[in-house]
Amino acid sequence: MKILFVGGGMGGTIVANNVARRLAREVRDGKVEITMLSATDQHWYQPGLLYVAFGKMAMNDIVRDQASLLEPGIRFFVDPVEEFELAQNKVRTKGGVVHDYDMLVIATGCEAVYDEVPGLAEASETPYTRDGATRMFKRLRDFEGGKVAVVVGVPHKCPIAPIEITFMLHEFFEKRGIRDKVELKYTYPIARIHNIENIATWAVPEFERMEVDYETFFNMKEVDVENRIVHSEEGTEKEFDLLVAVPPHRGMKVIEENNLGEGGWIPTDRYSLQMEGHDNVYVVGDTSNLPISKTGSTAHFQSEVVGENIASIFRTGSATREYDGKVYCFIEADQDRATNACFNYIDPPEIKAPTKSMHMLKMSYNQWYWSSARGLL
Pairing of strands 242-246, 146-152: parallel
Site string for another protein, 6-25 (x = CB under 8 A): ------------------x-
What span, in angstroms and rounded, lies between the C-alpha atoms of 228 and 239? 6
Stretch that binds another protein, among 31-39, 77-85, 224-232, 368-376 (CB under 8 A): 368-376
Peptide bond into 349 cis (omega under 30): no
Cβ 299 to another protein, closest distance in Å? 19
Cβ 11 to another protein, closest distance in Å? 20
Q: List the interface residues with another protein, window 192-221 (CB under 8 A).
A: none
Site string for another protein, 306-345 (x = CB under 8 A): ------------------------------x---------
Q: Which is nearer to another protein, 98 or 376 (CB)?
A: 376
Q: Which is nearer to another protein, 271 or 365 (CB)?
A: 365
Q: List the interface residues with another protein, window 99-128 (CB under 8 A).
A: none
Cβ 336 to another protein, closest distance in Å? 7
Q: Which is nearer to another protein, 218 or 369 (CB)?
A: 369
Degrees, nearest 5: CA angle 322-44-19: 35
| Ramachandran angles phi, psi of 267, nearest 5° | -60, 125
Q: List the interface residues with another protein, window 32-91 (CB under 8 A).
A: 56
What span, in angstroms and rounded, lies between the C-alpha atoms of 77 and 37? 5
- Does the protein bind another protein through residue 374 (CB under 8 A)? yes
Cβ 38 to another protein, closest distance in Å? 21
Cβ 371 to another protein, closest distance in Å? 5
> Are 279 and 306 within 8 A, CB to CB?
no
Q: Which is nearer to another protein, 327 or 373 (CB)?
A: 373
Binding-residue total with another protein (CB under 8 A) = 17
Stretch that binds another protein, among 119-127, 183-191, 222-230, 360-368 (CB under 8 A): 360-368
Q: What is the dihedral of CA 146, 151, 157, 163, to 10 degrees?
A: 60
Cβ 355 to another protein, closest distance in Å? 9
Q: Which is nearer to another protein, 346 or 353 (CB)?
A: 353
CA atoms within 13 A on the CB side of 29: 6
Cβ 298 to another protein, closest distance in Å? 22
- Does the protein bind another protein through residue 280 (CB under 8 A)? no
| Ramachandran angles phi, psi of 308, nearest 5° | -65, -40
CA 13 from chain centre, in angstroms, equals: 14
List % helix, strand, coil for the chain (3-state, nearest 5).
35, 25, 40
SS3 for 29-50 is CCCCEEEEEECCCEEECCCHHH
Q: Which is nearer to another protein, 17 or 232 (CB)?
A: 17
Beta-strand (E) ranges in 79-174? 81-85, 90-93, 98-100, 103-106, 110-112, 124-125, 146-152
Binding site for another protein (CB under 8 A): 24, 56, 336, 356-357, 360, 363-368, 370-371, 374, 376-377
